[in-house]
Amino acid sequence: MDTKPCPHCRQDIPADSVKCHHCREWVDWRGPVKRHLLPAVGVLALFVGFMLIMDRFMFEEMFDEQKYWQQPDAIQITSHHPGEDEEGSRCVIGTMKNVSETPWRSITIQVDYYNSKGELVDTSEDWSNETLAPGQERSFKVVFKSGQRDVEYDHYRVFIAGADDASRF
Predicted local distance difference test score (pLDDT) of residue 34: 61
Q: For CA atoms 20, 23, 27, 32, give the dihedral sign.
A: positive
> Is residue 15 left, alpha or beta, with left meaning phi > 0 and alpha meaning psi from -120 to 50?
alpha
**Looking at the DSSP assignment, which residues form a beta bridge with residue 37?**
none
Q: For CA atoms 23, 28, 34, 40, give the dihedral sign.
A: positive
Predicted local distance difference test score (pLDDT) of residue 10: 92
Tell me the mean pLDDT per 10 residues along the chain, length 169: 89 89 81 66 87 70 56 90 79 94 92 91 88 95 76 88 83
Predicted local distance difference test score (pLDDT) of residue 59: 57
Predicted local distance difference test score (pLDDT) of residue 12: 92
**pLDDT tens digits, one per residue of 76-125:** 999 999 987 777 688 899 999 999 999 999 899 999 999 899 999 888 99
Tell me, rounded to whole angstroms, the distance of Cα 72 from its chain centroid.
21
What is 39-94 written as a DSSP string? HHHHHHHHHHHHHHHHHHHHHHHHHHS-BGGGSTTSEEEEEEEEEE-TTS-EEEEE
Structural domains of the chain, ranges and CATH numbers in brackets: 3-64 (no CATH), 68-168 (2.70.50.60)
- Among 57, 41, 19, 67, smallest CA distance to 169 is for 67
Predicted local distance difference test score (pLDDT) of residue 25: 87
